[in-house]
Amino acid sequence: MTRPGRTHRLPAAAATPAPATLPPVGLPGLDPAFSRLVEVAESGAAAPATRTWHLLDNAARLAELGVTPVGTVLCVHGNPTWSYLWREFVTKATDAAAAGRPAWRVIAIDQLEMGFSERRGTVRPLARRVTDLGDLTDTLGLAGPVVTFGHDWGGVVSLGWAVDHPELLGAVMLLNTAVHQPEDSPIPAPLRLALAGPVLAAATVTTPAFLETTLALAHPRLSAAVKRAYRAPYRAAARRGGIGAFVADIPVDFAHESAAELDRIAGSLRDLLVPALMLWGPRDPIFSDRYLDDLVGRLPHADVHRFEAAGHLVAEDVDYAAAALTWLGECAPVVEPAATEAEAASETWPAPVVEPAATEAEADWVAGPHHPLWHYLDELRDSDETALVDMSPPGGRAPRVVSWRMLARQVRRLAAGLDLIGVRRGDRVSLLVPPGADLTAVLYACLRIGAVVVVADAGLGLRGLTRAVRGAHPDHVIGATPGLVAARALGWPGQKISVARLPKPVHRALDVSFTLAELLSLGMAEGLPASPAPGDRAAVLFTSGSTGPAKGVVYTHAQLAAVAHALHAQYGVGLGTGLVAGFAPFALLGPALGARSVTPDMDVTSPKTLTATAVAAAVAAIDATVVFLSPAALANVVATEAALTPADHRALAGVRSFLSAGAPVAEPLLAGAARLMPRASAHTPYGMTEGLLMTDITLEGIRDAAPTSLADLAGPGGVCVGCPAATTRIRISALDADGAATGELSDAPGVTGEIVVSAPHTLDHYSRLWLTDRAARRGAVAGERWHRSGDVGHFDSAGRLWIEGRLPHVIATATGVLTPVGPEQRIEGVAEIARAAVVGVGPAGTQQPIAVVETLPSGRRVALATPGLAAAVREAAGLQLAAVLVVPRLPTDIRHNSKIDRSRLSRWAETVLSGGRMSRP
């Protein structure tokens, strides 16, 4: 509960008594046939009394269909909505039953004094509302299993019913809600304002301000018709008394009338052993992610999906109904009610993941002992050989050389210090530290004590980084000063730990609890806790955000160790190897491989700041034999090669393997790098945050795979990324006419479809993205674990994989599906074209392909291509392009600066071609 303070009294009767009525006909999306009124005897009343409820109920429709429900979903709205909130769920559940899928009876209530239920102007605090709901279900004679589904303060009421009816409860589902207000956090500002004494009545009853503010929280905006539907029961002040009473019933201190009941419900949730689902809108200014984190702590087995673009009215923002029905079909019971505590204790929840059948190479790895990422720190703790070099330490100092002895000591002391200040196994620790010695030491210290490191690339930008950090809801934040300033300014959660010592006023202003120096001192004489198990969670790594909002990818310790093993198996990176890593994940893996590593001097948020001389200096610093750079960084390295000195060239000549990945690497760019490192074997691996190494191809392999005939050029094309690497298996799920990957997993050549991968080093799951996780595992062979990459491609007859684009970028035309990369490559063969993107406009199934191009020299404005250029582009593409548009610059993703944002281009092109302004995309 919150701290003691002034209690907000519930207002006296503010509503004129009014009978229950049916909603008016014609409200968008609401079938009047679902509406009914129910007379309910009120329990606990001083004198016999009945109350009339309005509710939506599909029972009659199910009876007409001749189907027997497998259970009941009891939907409870919050404030200031009504049962209209659940219209889509009622309809879709009924349609699913009509289509032969499991039939769920859905009852969506209007709470008393709300919606179209009766009004008597009586005060109904939380405990009374929970009892009211029990009175209703008793009257309806519901049998189990019952699944509760609540939103806003209706979530609390529904959970109150759930904990009071364990004999009927089958599962719980929630949209944004809260059951506890952290003592160290204020009540959300909109509610504080509404609760202010003189404001309460004016904002909630006298005027519709509270209602209108709530309706304005939808993303995108609600239509005028839907807003009118939500306003329908609350048009007069006399009908808004329930809204004001509901707001006043928010417990703001221990003395509040509803505080004890809220605490009772919150405390009872840990005893709920039934399946649970939380569908969340993180853009909610009221029920933010901190409330989600609290709920997950109380229901740790719950499935969670955060709809990144959704807010408080998540039911209006996204297709929550389809998600909930999918979950009900897969996870919720359809016959048996809740398990007893003893029964639940005998089961494992969630069900254990069955690993894929192992290949011979995988079997060799699995059969061996587990080597945690820090095992070389233990083996080499007495070595004075170089472990890593920090080329750009804070303060512009000279490069910092760290031995294995020093690194091992720092990691051990930091780990002990972290343990001493309360960082525990399973705690999430957000790392806002630039690549270098400090980040490496902190990362391994956290892993050693079993804390889960949260790593989001600074290249996401402030907004993307904020979204990632809040979504992960860390318990602790370790950061350099810029990260801590952002954390403080933007309200990022977690105890703050500073990498550097700070002046006392800055220390206080940034709410810093400890510094690394203090942790090192604390940990000097302390022991370490037991090491985490291989199956424990180790890290949440956020994707680049180039294909949508950045996703948190969860790895276990075993899976991270498997990443290191895959790199060793594929490239021989191991003990004694010198590794230059212009890509942070590989720099952090250096100590796990026993390699001495260095991050070149560059701005990690801008790969194009890396120069050829910086790479040469990094190579020379550790006598590196392996270099890894992103394509964007590589482009600038090749562009700045003229600045290299003879000494730089001699250093680069010592490199034996060169890797570039993160986006497709064109042959000329890879060849340019090969000129700089003439003795190196040039590789371009294909992978993703969900699996860092999936395939590999060399420069020679790219040249061998290059088209040699017009017939080859006319095929699907794409980027050849070679053969499966190390312990990886790859299959293709063929596309159907709508561009969906519905085919069985196959390695047959010439079949275009979604690329599906399996390896010991793929992710464990996505963080709080149940739907995404389900989609990524869809169609896996029984007993095996596969990950759907979202990339589209095919195998050729030599077993090489070709990337043709992303699944969302497939163009579904009336004559079949098109993938973009092959046509784009052919268009880029036109002399006047620098870069090209092929996207679809119009509805799926009848989409029209268009080309958007950058020219040489670059144009200054958006325009239709000249007839000559358009004809050349169409001929090269081999497609009936509906239009060819010229832009000064194609939009690219934030981090890689090389992946074209085709989804954004498609939306922009539709606007332009439908008569919109010819602005830049």
Question: What is the side-by-side order of every strand in the sheet holding 400-403?
Answer: 400-403, 386-390, 596-599, 578-581, 626-629, 657-660, 681-683
Of residues 627 and 250, more confidently modeled: 627
**Maximal CA-CA distance, the chain:** 99
Q: What is the pLDDT of residue 599?
A: 87
* CA contacts within 13 A on the Cβ side of 711: 0
Q: How far apart are CA 789 and CA 543, in angstroms?
A: 12
| 212: Cβ contacts below 8 Å, ≥ 6 apart | none
Closest CA to 91 of 329, 322, 334: 322
Q: What is the pLDDT of residues 429-445, one digit of tens each?
A: 999 988 889 999 999 99
Q: What is the pLDDT of residues 295-305, one digit of tens each?
A: 999 999 999 99
Q: What is the pLDDT of residues 472-500, one digit of tens each?
A: 889 999 999 988 998 888 888 889 999 99
Q: Is the pLDDT of residue 358 over 60?
A: no
- According to DSSP, the β-strands at 719-724 and 400-403 are unpaired
- Whether domain 811-913 has CATH 3.30.300.30: the reply is yes
Q: Give the confidence band of 505 by pLDDT, cuts at 50, 70, 90.
A: very high
Q: What is the pLDDT of residue 366?
A: 43
Portion of the chain with pLDDT greater than 70, in percent: 89
Q: How far apart are CA 627 and CA 543, in angstroms?
A: 22
Mean pLDDT for the stretch of residues 189-201: 65
Contact 736, 742 (CB under 8 A): yes
Q: What is the pLDDT of residue 526?
A: 78
Q: Give the confidence band of 283 by pLDDT, cuts at 50, 70, 90.
A: very high
Count of Cβ atoms closer than 10 Å to residue 76 Cβ:
29
Contact 559, 760 (CB under 8 A): yes
Strand partners, 900: 892
Q: What is the pLDDT of residue 607?
A: 75
Q: How far apart are CA 572 and CA 447, in angstroms?
A: 24
Q: What is the pLDDT of residue 714?
A: 61
| 879: Cβ contacts below 8 Å, ≥ 6 apart | 818, 823, 838, 849
Q: Is the pLDDT of residue 851 over 80?
A: yes
Query: Which token pair is 524?
Result: 């000097």
Of residues 144 and 137, more confidently modeled: 137
Q: How far apart are CA 21 and CA 31, in angstroms?
A: 15
Q: What is the pLDDT of residues 394-404, one digit of tens each?
A: 767 788 999 99
Q: Is the pLDDT of residue 345 over 80?
A: no
Q: Could you give the C-alpha distances from 312 to 93, 297, 305, in angstroms and in order?
A: 23, 21, 14
Q: How far apart are CA 713 and CA 857, in angstroms?
A: 26
Reported for 645-652, long-range contacts at CB under 8 A and 24+ positions apart, including other chains, are 645/613, 645/616, 647/616, 647/620, 648/612, 648/613, 648/616, 648/617, 648/620, 649/616, 651/616, 651/617, 651/619, 651/620, 652/615, 652/616, 652/619, 652/676, 652/677
**Amino acid in position 655:** V
Mean pLDDT for the stretch of residues 866-885: 94
Class of domain 32-337: alpha beta
Closest CA to 299 of 273, 333, 325: 273
Q: What is the pLDDT of residue 201?
A: 82
Mean pLDDT for the stretch of residues 784-806: 93
- According to DSSP, the β-strands at 452-455 and 428-432 are parallel
Q: Out of 3.40.50.980, 3.40.50.720, 1.10.645.10, 1.20.1530.20, which CATH number does the structure's domain 372-599 have?
A: 3.40.50.980
The answer to which of 281-295, 336-350, 554-568, 854-868 has the lowest mean pLDDT is 336-350
Q: What is the pLDDT of residues 625-661, one digit of tens each?
A: 999 988 888 999 999 999 999 999 999 999 999 999 8
| 83: Cβ contacts below 8 Å, ≥ 6 apart | 54, 55, 56, 75, 77, 108, 109, 110, 115
Of residues 584 and 221, more confidently modeled: 221
Helix, strand, coil share of the chain (percent; to 5): 40, 20, 40
- According to DSSP, the β-strands at 476-479 and 495-498 are parallel
Q: What is the pLDDT of residues 402-426, one digit of tens each?
A: 999 999 999 999 999 999 999 999 9
Mean pLDDT for the stretch of residues 123-148: 95
Q: Give the confidence band of 351 by pLDDT, cuts at 50, 70, 90.
A: very low
Strand partners, 686: 695
Q: Give the confidence band of 712 by pLDDT, cuts at 50, 70, 90.
A: low
Any idea what DSSP says for residue 665?
-
Based on its alpha-carbon atoms, the radius of gyration of the chain, rounded to whole angstroms, reads 30
pTM: 0.88
Q: What is the pLDDT of residue 782?
A: 61
User: Could you give the angle at the alpha carbon of 607 between the alpha carbons of 602 and 612, nearest 5°?
Assistant: 60
The answer to which of 478-492, 696-710, 796-810, 887-901 has the lowest mean pLDDT is 887-901
Q: How far apart are CA 543 and CA 457, in angstroms?
A: 8
Q: What is the pLDDT of residue 917?
A: 76
Q: What is the pLDDT of residue 189?
A: 63
Q: Give the confidence band of 903 by pLDDT, cuts at 50, 70, 90.
A: confident
What mean pLDDT is reported for the chain? Answer: 88
Class of domain 696-809: mainly beta
Q: Is the pLDDT of residue 240 over 70?
A: yes
Q: How far apart are CA 310 and CA 493, in angstroms?
A: 20
Q: Is the pLDDT of residue 667 over 90?
A: no
Q: Is the pLDDT of residue 533 over 60?
A: yes
Q: What is the pLDDT of residue 342?
A: 39
Q: What is the pLDDT of residues 58-73, one digit of tens each?
A: 999 999 999 999 999 9
Query: Which token pair is 86?
Result: 């659940």
Any idea what DSSP says for residue 103?
P
Any idea what DSSP says for residue 749?
B
Domain ranges of the chain: 32-337, 372-599, 696-809, 811-913
Mean pLDDT for the stretch of residues 735-750: 93
The answer to which of 157-171, 707-721, 787-801 has the lowest mean pLDDT is 707-721
| 821: Cβ contacts below 8 Å, ≥ 6 apart | 664, 717, 718, 719, 803, 804, 805
Mean pLDDT for the stretch of residues 713-741: 89
Q: What are phi and psi of 748, to 5 degrees?
A: -65, 140
Strand partners, 555: 539
Query: Which token pair is 72?
Result: 């009941």
Strand partners, 282: none
Q: Is the pLDDT of residue 340 over 50?
A: no
Q: What is the pLDDT of residue 664?
A: 74
Question: Do 811-913 and 696-809 fall under one CATH topology?
Answer: no
Q: Is the pLDDT of residue 183 over 80?
A: no
Q: Is the pLDDT of residue 350 over 60?
A: no
Closest CA to 147 of 89, 190, 99: 89
User: Could you give the angle at the alpha carbon of 216 between the alpha carbons of 210 and 217, nearest 5°?
Assistant: 100
**Amino acid in position 200:** L
Q: Is the pLDDT of residue 346 over 60?
A: no
Q: What is the SS3 assignment for 503?
A: coil
Mean pLDDT for the stretch of residues 215-240: 96
Any idea what DSSP says for residue 611?
-
